[in-house]
Amino acid sequence: MSLLLLPFCLVLLTACTKYDFSDPDKAVETVSITSINPRGATCSANIISNGGYSIVERGICWSLAKEPTISNSIKRDSKNTLGNFTLNITSLTAGKTYFIRAYAKTSQGYIAYGNQLVFSTLPKGLSSISTSVDSTVYINYKMVKGIITNDGGDVVTSRGFCWDTFPNPTIAKYSNIIGSGAGTFSSNISVLLPNRKYYVKAWAKNSIGISYGNEISFTTGQPQLAFLNISATTNISRNSATSGGFVSLDGGANIIARGVCWSLISKPTITDYKTLDGVGLGSFSSFVTGLIANKTYYIRAYATNSVGTSYSNEINFVTLPLGLPLFGNQIFNSVSYNIASVANNISDDGGANILSRGVCWSSSSTTPTILNSKTTDGTGLGNYTSTISGLTPGSVYFIRGYATNSVGTVYSNTLNLTTLNYALATLFLKSVAFVSKASVSCQSTISTDGGTPITARGVCWNTSPNPTLSNYKTSDGVGIGTFTSSITGLTAGLTYYIRTYAVNGTGISYSSQYIYSN
């Protein structure tokens, strides 16, 4: 054929079919299939000729049937040029035979296919996996990493690490599970014994079985002392304070005791004073008591494991100085003519024992002291009641509680009271009952004596209103209470006026009068 006619024939050929352009045997070449595995393979191809058209797409297509086309499974390349390219095929089924061809597509829609190659994916198998460890030496744990480079054509349903103090560990003894699927995974193997040699392997499981990575050995470190910090000291009083600490590292051995220790000398240890505040890692709170007022104390947190006892940094604090006691409000319990009862409360002893307590009072000074009149009502903190006697009726008094410790004497708020004044007795005539035309029976009650004893009592009567003791009367004993009086010698037809009377140190008191007609 003339060379002049060749381009025309090529154009005519491409117009008649969409499966070839240029030389149908050399336009596209499916070069090779490599890296075959259960789930995929790598295909190399070459676009030799474009037939004078622009190539807009190139790639590979495959199928379980012969002569695959782009209507089957395809994978496009990122470039649209002549020349070699390589594509990885994934998501294939293990143990299957596939037919594969390279293809190229022009701007006119013409498609050329390369020669067909045949390959079979590998059957499902065990996963491929590797193991590595962190080079850092730890006392009771180790950081390990696994990489599943090939899932064996099947889904990795679980994966992890196994370890033992003997070579060739399996999941039958010590192991963990770290997710599923292929790729990289890591774990912190903990609860290891210190100063021991361990063997570790990564493992992966699919439907075929369990595969293990390479075995790596490592040795854990020696136990050490714990590491901890002390908390700031708060709530400082004269004899106590609050502190604590935080144990951040146990040194590879269990913390069997922790707390704070203190002394009046720097660098206290657990042979001095100490608290015991639990075990293990973490924060703890300590209550320090039994301290002396106005002293500088040195304090450290401590933690003890099988290696020994470690201490935190040292801090110091000063307890509050001794002070005077602190009173609550005082109140009256009762007040009479010459006696009063007062209640007090000492809420704080000032850091020193209460040596004496009571009340003091005066009728002239608004701020009485223990140099005036006083009671003595025991020692110590808390509530107490004082009874004041020998007061003058109808008088004003100023009263304060007092408490004395080694620092001095302190006084409560001042109360003022007025004692009751002596008065006439309070009484009334309850009833008058007919006995005969010449006599009646009277019942009377004296409810209060007015502050002085009742020395005489009874009833008095007369035919004139408001009878007194200068008229007729009975004498019916002494004291308060209810009593009965008998009136005799009355004259028939007369009207009588009757009153109860009582005599005390203040005078004579009378009841209201009763009018009786005989």
* pLDDT above 70: percentage of residues in the chain: 95
Question: Do residues 110 and 19 share a domain?
Answer: yes
Q: Which alpha helices (H) appear in 415-515, and where do they start and end? A: none
How far is the CA of 492 from the CAs of 204, 460, 513, in angstroms?
A: 132, 18, 20
Could you give the CA distance from residue 141 to residue 193 in angstroms, rounded to a whole number? 8
At 253 the pLDDT is 87
DSSP 293-308: TT-EEEEEEEEE-SS-
Could you give the CA distance from residue 124 to residue 110 in angstroms, rounded to a whole number? 39
> What is the number of structural domains in the chain?
5
pLDDT tens-digit series, residues 73-100: 999 999 999 999 999 999 899 999 999 9
Contact, 95 vs 38, CB < 8 A? yes
Could you give the CA distance from residue 18 to residue 109 in angstroms, rounded to a whole number? 7
SS3 at position 6: helix
Question: Do residues 9 and 114 share a domain?
Answer: yes
Question: Do residues 112 and 138 share a domain?
Answer: no
Contact, 200 vs 215, CB < 8 A? yes
Mark which of 62, 96, 120 sits at the end of a domain: 120
The pair of structure tokens assigned to 218 is 């490592």
Q: Please, is 391 exposed, middle or buried when counting C-beta atoms within 10 Å of its C-beta (0-12, 13-18, 19+)?
A: buried
Question: Do residues 450 and 503 share a domain?
Answer: yes
At 265 the pLDDT is 97
Question: Do residues 358 and 444 share a domain?
Answer: no
Name the residue type at position 311: Y
pLDDT tens-digit series, residues 206-226: 999 999 999 999 999 999 999
Could you give the CA distance from residue 22 to residue 11 in angstroms, rounded to a whole number? 8
Could you give the CA distance from residue 417 to residue 414 in angstroms, rounded to a whole number? 10
Tens-digit pLDDT string for the chain (518 aa):
333 333 333 333 333 334 456 565 579 999 999 999 888 999 999 999 988 889 999 999 999 999 999 999 999 999 999 999 999 999 899 999 999 999 999 998 899 999 999 999 999 988 899 999 999 988 888 999 999 998 888 899 999 999 999 999 999 999 999 999 999 999 999 889 888 999 999 999 999 999 999 999 999 999 999 999 999 999 999 999 999 999 999 988 899 999 999 999 999 999 999 999 999 999 999 999 999 999 999 999 999 999 999 999 999 999 999 989 889 888 878 898 899 999 999 998 888 899 999 999 999 999 999 999 999 999 999 999 999 999 999 999 999 999 999 999 999 999 999 998 889 999 999 999 999 989 999 999 999 999 899 999 999 999 999 999 999 999 999 999 999 999 999 998 999 999 999 999 999 999 999 999 98
pLDDT tens-digit series, residues 290-299: 999 999 999 9
Q: Which helix (H) or strand (E) holds 13?
A: helix 6-16
Could you give the CA distance from residue 122 to residue 129 in angstroms, rounded to a whole number? 18
Q: Strands 174-177, 210-212: parallel, antiparallel or unpaired by DSSP?
A: unpaired
| 0.75 exceeded by pTM | no
Residue 390 sits in a domain whose CATH number is 2.60.40.10
At 424 the pLDDT is 94
Q: Which helix (H) or strand (E) holds 52?
A: none
Mark which of 293, 318, 343 sits at the end of a domain: 318
Mark which of 63, 97, 120 sits at the end of a domain: 120
At 151 the pLDDT is 87
Question: Do residues 60 and 116 share a domain?
Answer: yes
Contact, 98 vs 119, CB < 8 A? yes
In the DSSP assignment, the letter for residue 316 is E
Question: Do residues 91 and 165 share a domain?
Answer: no
Domain that residue 461 falls in: 426-517
